[in-house]
Chain A
């Protein structure tokens, strides 16, 4: 039930854009996105519930394609502070999240 994330890692220069994908083989109730910096706890970014909505958080936004059981996280005009490992968490009910292996994003000046 663990979702599959791609790519595993991405290196960006400040101001560049990136897309992180998350896919599941099962029907989903929701998708969560978290960012974890080295040695710290994962920090919540956003939730997408089934319905195909797109959400935004500053220059980070996400979409959820319910039919394809896929979500994408969009990093726009990346900043140094965007560096970290991004995890998608998927849920088939309203309480249990299964996390992907993560995508490590490195933003360089």
Chain B
């Protein structure tokens, strides 16, 4: 169990640029989640995959956000035309499929949009 890994750890970009983050979940976990966390707040749900299928996407997520999980392994989160309000910590988590399985979080990617 090597844990959930995310890359990069930090990303600074200019407004209007596109960014892509990667998440490698724990290998035997078939559920993968993306959350966003801002200072002083709890993680906010963005989207969820069961294997390669994206089963739910937050209504708060604009069309500028897209996520993929090809082959049910790693996942990418892309933000197009970044805005200053996108600045946050983006957390990836994975879990098994049973209802009592905990989420294992990665260390996150901190995005700063200037």
* Residues in B whose Cβ lies below 8 Å from that of A42: 43, 91, 103, 105
Contact with B along A21-55 (1 / 0, CB 8 A): 00000000110101000001111100101000000
Q: Is A94 an interface residue (CB 8 A)?
A: yes
Q: Is B48 an interface residue (CB 8 A)?
A: yes
B107 to A97, Cβ gap below 8 A? no
B107 to A40, Cβ gap below 8 A? yes
> What is the size category of the interface that chain A forms with chain B?
20 to 34
* Residues in B whose Cβ lies below 8 Å from that of A98: 45
Shortest Cβ distance from residue B74 to the other chain A in the assembled complex, whole angstroms:
17
Classify the secondary structure of B's interface with A. Answer: loop
* Residues in A whose Cβ lies below 8 Å from that of B105: 34, 41-43
Contact with A along B70-113 (1 / 0, CB 8 A): 00000000000000000000010000001110111111100000
Shortest Cβ distance from residue B4 to the other chain A in the assembled complex, whole angstroms:
8
A94 to B99, Cβ gap below 8 A? yes
Given contacts A30-B100, A44-B103, A47-B102, contact A102 B31 (CB under 8 A): no
* Residues in A whose Cβ lies below 8 Å from that of B41: 101-102
Q: Is A96 an interface residue (CB 8 A)?
A: yes
CA gap between A100 and B40 in the complex, in Å: 11
Residues of B within 8 A of A (CB): 4, 31, 35, 40-45, 48, 50, 55-56, 91, 98-100, 102-108
